[in-house]
Structure 1
């Protein structure tokens, strides 16, 4: 999939932003960068990256197929970072529902740094 602008909303080209993380050329340096790269992975349906960046304690709850189905069945529109700290990122991800209406996934995600790599652990959703 050829993308000019990175889906994460950085304003940079995909090849210079999230793609190097997806290709495993480099590791996300912060929890926020990992969150942005995971959002982009949902947009481009990179289930392997989503699975690989999920913390090992949570992988039993998230299969590659589940990630792939979620990514392919959702039309993501944009990402908005509400708050970011060392290991917590609050974001809003906008997407189209089946009636083609915009909805928002609002989550406060928890991340863990292990052996120099960031991993998604879990999140709390806002109504």
Structure 2
């Protein structure tokens, strides 16, 4: 893989790989969102679960994550809007659109996600209201 799937235009090695392989911790909610999307693309299911808020991770199924990821051809991430989620924040919202093809049909997953910072690390909490 050359260009990072997150849409940054950077090489994967210089972008999300450093977060997924735990060389660095994403400093913002948006960078965590981008690296989680990339983890779906590259099939790193442990990263997806490890970056899910411990308070809500029991609401997700590893098997469903794997099934969705492997049955989809991921083809783009658009960050629509962010609210807070910066280095000094404790919470943030990232609205995004992830496009993919499944069963021969194009789909767009549009979500406003809530991220929380716990002990200096960002986690995906779930859908924001």
Q: TM-score, normalised by structure 2?
A: 0.89
Equivalent residue, structure 2, for 1:101: 105
CA contact (8 A) 1:50 1:64 kept: no
1:74: how far off? 1.3
Equivalent residue, structure 2, for 1:43: 41
CA contact (8 A) 1:20 1:26 kept: yes
Find the partner of 2:118 among 95, 114, 117. 114
Gaps of 5+ in 2: 85-91
Q: Classify the secondary structure of the residue corresponding to 2:96.
A: strand
CA distance in 2, matches of 1:95, 1:50: 17
Gaps of 5+ in 1: none
1:64: how far off? 3.0
Count of matched residue positions in the alignment of Structure 1 and Structure 2 = 122
Equivalent residue, structure 2, for 1:26: 24
- The RMSD of aligned alpha carbons is 1.4
Q: Classify the secondary structure of the residue corresponding to 2:55.
A: helix
Equivalent residue, structure 2, for 1:88: 93
The C-alpha deviation readout for 1:77-102, integer Å capped at 9, x for no partner, is 1000100122000001111121x222
1:124: how far off? 5.2
| Residue 60 of structure 2 is aligned to residue 62 of structure 1 | yes
| Structure 1 moving runs of 4+ over 4 Å | none
Q: Classify the secondary structure of the residue corresponding to 2:7.
A: coil
Q: Classify the secondary structure of the residue corresponding to 2:46.
A: helix
CA distance in 2, matches of 1:71, 1:101: 15
Q: TM-score, normalised by structure 1?
A: 0.91
Q: Which moved more, 1:100-109 or 1:43-52?
A: 100-109
Equivalent residue, structure 1, for 2:8: 10
Cα gap change, 1:124/1:88 in structure 2, threshold over 3 Å: closer, same or farther? closer
CA contact (8 A) 1:53 1:118 kept: yes
